[in-house]
A and B are shown apart, each in its own frame.
Chain A
Amino acid sequence: MGKMTIDDLKKIKEQTSEETSLRHGTANVKITVHMGTCGIAAGAREVMSALMEEMGQTERQDIRVMASACLGMCSSEPNVTVAVEGEEPIVYQHMDSNKMRQVFRRHVLEGEVQTDFALARG
């Protein structure tokens, strides 16, 4: 192989970022923070911030985080839904940043549903 040019490097870079974004495409776990007016007023932003920090610390590429609108269960906000591929989605209620960290580490990473915070099987 001859001398590498800037263009070659750019190509390699593009390829790698394509591969990573492909990896981003296959989500095995989907975490949804419900962010309607009710969720936001009850503290959904802090829950999301904790989740972002946890995501920054994991090597897992197959977890997707989303914000969505109100579930219709405003009294139990902040609500978070964890959907693991092939399993029933779990809705967690009255979340805060600590509960979010626990759910992330135990349920998302280790597959152990945290029944104490679960509202229902959705």
Chain B
Amino acid sequence: MKELALHILDVAENGITAGADRIWITVEEDRAKNRMTITIEDNGRGVPEDVMKRITDPFYTTRTTRRVGLGLSLLENTARRCGGSMTIDSEPGQGTRVTATFVHDHIDRPPLGDMAGTLMTLIYSNPEGDLAYRCQSGDGEIVIDTKQVREQFNNRPITDPEVFRHLMEQMEQIKTSI
């Protein structure tokens, strides 16, 4: 994965597959501590305890289409390689939270990348659910929440052309900020 935004897309898709209708993504840059923290949280069905034990084992997967499961193992690997770590907290029936940390200026840390592309893909392919994104960096804070956007438009679906256009405009601030 060339970008952290691709890891985020991958992990968030897991949440959607787990039946989540709400996803929270945060990216925090702490220049003073030279840390970058990404969290992806969902309200899906959660991870059962026996699966949790092997969740970052690349040769373990719950799916049947193939025998490897690389998503979380790749993210864990990237985090470790960059002087950080990855943790997964999950409560069966409540949801899952994946947290990955990185040393901010580590030479191996991939760039955040096209976060707007990741968010639009997640929103567009899962129009029934809501997604909130918060990015905290030295330049300030950006918050985008599809629930708020829909409420502004009288709860019209997010795929409604006018609502979607409004969302695209909001995404522009992400593109210019990072």
Q: Which residues of A contact B (CB under 8 A)?
A: 10, 13-14, 17, 20-21, 24, 33, 35-38, 40-41, 45-46, 48-49, 52, 56, 65-67, 69-72, 74
Contacts and interface: CB of A to CB of B under 8 A. Distances in A.
Contacts of B9: 35, 40, 45
Nearest to B164: A56
Given A49-B117, A70-B65, 17 more contacts: A33-B125, A35-B13, A37-B10, A37-B70, A37-B71, A40-B1, A40-B13, A45-B9, A45-B121, A49-B121, A56-B161, A56-B164, A67-B13, A67-B125, A67-B126, A69-B65, A70-B63
B69 to A, nearest CB: 8
B152 interface: no
B125 A40 contact: no
B171 to A, nearest CB: 11
15 contacts: A35-B13, A41-B1, A45-B117, A45-B118, A45-B121, A49-B120, A52-B120, A65-B125, A67-B121, A67-B125, A67-B126, A69-B13, A69-B65, A72-B66, A74-B66
B157 interface: yes
A48 B10 contact: no
* Most chain B beta carbons < 10 A, residue from A20, A37, A49, A69: A37
B136 interface: no
Interface of B: 1, 6, 9-10, 13, 16-17, 63, 65-66, 69-71, 74, 114, 117-118, 120-121, 124-126, 154, 156-157, 159-161, 164
A17 B126 contact: no
Nearest to A48: B121
